[in-house]
Amino acid sequence: MIRFDQYVPLTDSTQPDRPGRELLGPCDEDERVAAVVVLRRTPDFHGSPAFEGLAGAIRQRAGKWAAGSLPREACVAAESDVDLVRKFAAQYNLTVSQLHPRSRAIRLLGTAGDVSKAFHVELLRATHNGTVYITHRGEIEIPEAAKATIVSVLLDGTPPDTLGNGGGDLSPLSPSEVAQLYNFPTDSTGAGTSIALIALSGGYQDSDITALLNTSNYSIVNAGTGNNVFDTSPASMELTTALEIALSIAPDATVVVYFAPSNDLSGLAEVLGVVEADDTYNLCALAQYIGWPETLISGANQLQAVHGLFEDLAGTLAMAVFAPSGDTGTACGATDGSVNVLYPASDPFVTGCGGTQLQDWNLETGAFTEVAWDAAAGAAGATGGGVSTLAAIGNSAPPGWQAAPLVQVPYLLNTQAQGRGVPDIAANASDLSPYGIYFNSKPGARGGTSSVPPLYAGLMALITEKTNSLLSQLFVPPLAGSPAPMSVVGMQFNLFVYGAACGSPPLFSSITCCGNNGFTMPGAQASSPGYPVATLTGSPPSPPPNNLSSWDACTGLGRIDATALWDALSSMIATIALFASLGL
């Protein structure tokens, strides 16, 4: 019989002090609370590469930052590990809530008293920006019998930053009109592809989607452990906007909304665990529209666990994962005047999405100008961006694909340290060039960098359909036993875009005006002046002699050129197909 009475500390599990947080006192012993336990990957799994054909060939040639060779089986939990957690939970009267039997993230439900006893930790109620939530004090402990099995325990309920900006009385652009200006493919509709959206709270109503798209012929699937609870909250508006943008871009794609049971990092961890274990859909991209200022993020142990889940999705499964960089410039939602970037946009396995502003557009000619979204230009917000130095996720130095001489990442404004530059790419997000939406049975306008992830997820659906068609023509099976590849590039998306940016013609349209000047939150100190576009603050005066000299901490590499993206992919597909036909 396994004993759970001997305990060991969970390294780096103490919650850091957070600016603006107030502790309200201990939780009531009988209060119902939840803990999300993240398990290790299947230990000692050895198998064939996850993908055959194009992706498998690319993986064998891509090197260190390419997607790994282990299939989905390596990303899920071993049945014996899940069984161990169930036995541990039963001993402390905790109920196991697990949507997918192989998910690495398992929610345990019980009273605050039982959860405290199970993990030898004090649970507290706290408040920040008017939101009351549960956190803990001190280091979490886990049974010694489970120390090789349990990677992390998430008990902190800090909610994410609220993103999105209203468009006021301006005449908005429809998402399809933005796609038209950006020259997105018109010979594909996303047929046969699937996109994932992460919803930590809120919901949507079909009547809004139908009104915006002017049709009820679309496919939305609700998944996850949470529920579709529509209300008039910003969270529901964000989800509705994301759905309307994604389906406007790729009307024949299936959008799978993974609802989380809680609006915090534990909810994100749980739903990411479901996504990586769920092989029902061939997801080509994942978009989320939330984020936490890094000064408000959970402890190192909890952050590493979520980082590991993103590594599974983007690294091993080669899924394109997009997240917004924030709407309040270098303040990034913090109210103390500090310089911040948003997580998970700062995660190396996530493609951070910054914001631009469209000007002087002409839909008939396709002409327009584009600048960085900047509060100094009269907008109600500014694109987030800067430098992350979180050591817990490997950002104490720039990731390999951002390291000099490829990219000159600017120094962090308040410490002069270098790390992972945010964002990676950008697209229209300004409240001065807002997207036309339909919400709560009314037409409206919406901006914010949270609009960019579903835009690019829709583009990935279009490109994936074109890829499948080309692969069929070349008689290269896209994925053994499945109708579509998990990823059109077969490797971590950040590795692909930074590598392709070195090519000719450029994969990006660089943004060369404005910046993310300090955006002052109500009651806060004036934030940092921010980063200007096209001026690499703190970098050596001479830019590196390649196409990546245009990276900046406002719009990243710039806006993806959809035509150049497809040209690069189709050329790569043809080359790999040739190698495959020759048995190479």
pTM comes to 0.90
* Nearest CA among 436, 443, 483, 481 for reference residue 464: 483
Range from 69-83, 180-194, 203-217, 503-517 carrying the lowest mean pLDDT:
503-517
- How far is residue 247's CA from residue 229's CA, in Å, rounded to a whole number? 20
pLDDT band at 579 (very low <50, low <70, confident <90, very high): low
Please list, in sequence order, all residues whose beta carbon lies within 8 angstroms of the beta carbon of residue 542, skipping any fewer than 6 positions away. none
Task: Tell me the pLDDT tens digit for each residue of 462-482.
Answer: 998 998 787 777 654 444 333
- CATH fold for domain 165-184+191-575: Rossmann fold (3.40.50)
User: For tokens 């014996």, what's the residue?
Assistant: 80
Flag whether pLDDT at 172 surpasses 80.
yes
Helix axes 53-62, 562-581, angle to 10 degrees: 90
Q: Where are the domains of the chain?
A: 7-41+77-154, 165-184+191-575
Determine contact, residues 24/124, Cβ cutoff 8 Å.
Answer: yes
Specify which of 113-127, 401-415, 542-556 reaches the highest per-range mean pLDDT. Answer: 113-127
CA 522 from chain centre, in angstroms, equals 27
Flag whether pLDDT at 576 surpasses 70.
no
Task: Tell me the pLDDT tens digit for each residue of 116-131.
Answer: 999 999 999 998 777 8
Mean per-residue pLDDT, 268-281: 90
Mean per-residue pLDDT, 95-121: 90
- How far is residue 3's CA from residue 322's CA, in Å, rounded to a whole number? 42
* Helical spans, DSSP H, in 199-233: 206-213
Strands (E), 217-309: 219-224, 254-259, 283-288, 292-293
Determine contact, residues 240/209, Cβ cutoff 8 Å.
Answer: yes
CA 451 from chain centre, in angstroms, equals 12
Residues of the chain with pLDDT > 70: what percent? 81
pLDDT value for 388 = 92
- How far is residue 91's CA from residue 445's CA, in Å, rounded to a whole number? 52
Flag whether pLDDT at 499 surpasses 90.
no
* Nearest CA among 298, 306, 428, 301 for reference residue 359: 428
Mean per-residue pLDDT, 535-546: 37
- How far is residue 154's CA from residue 34's CA, in Å, rounded to a whole number? 9
Mean per-residue pLDDT, 546-575: 80
Mean per-residue pLDDT, 325-347: 84
* Helical spans, DSSP H, in 311-420: none
pLDDT band at 212 (very low <50, low <70, confident <90, very high): very high
Range from 228-242, 333-347, 358-372, 508-522 carrying the lowest mean pLDDT:
508-522
Flag whether pLDDT at 52 surpasses 70.
no
Flag whether pLDDT at 268 surpasses 80.
yes
- How far is residue 398's CA from residue 533's CA, in Å, rounded to a whole number? 19
Determine contact, residues 402/409, Cβ cutoff 8 Å.
Answer: yes
Residues across the chain: 584
Flag whether pLDDT at 253 surpasses 70.
yes
Average pLDDT taken over every residue of the chain:
82
Determine contact, residues 12/301, Cβ cutoff 8 Å.
Answer: yes
pLDDT value for 89 = 95
Q: What one-letter code names the amino acid at 444?
A: G
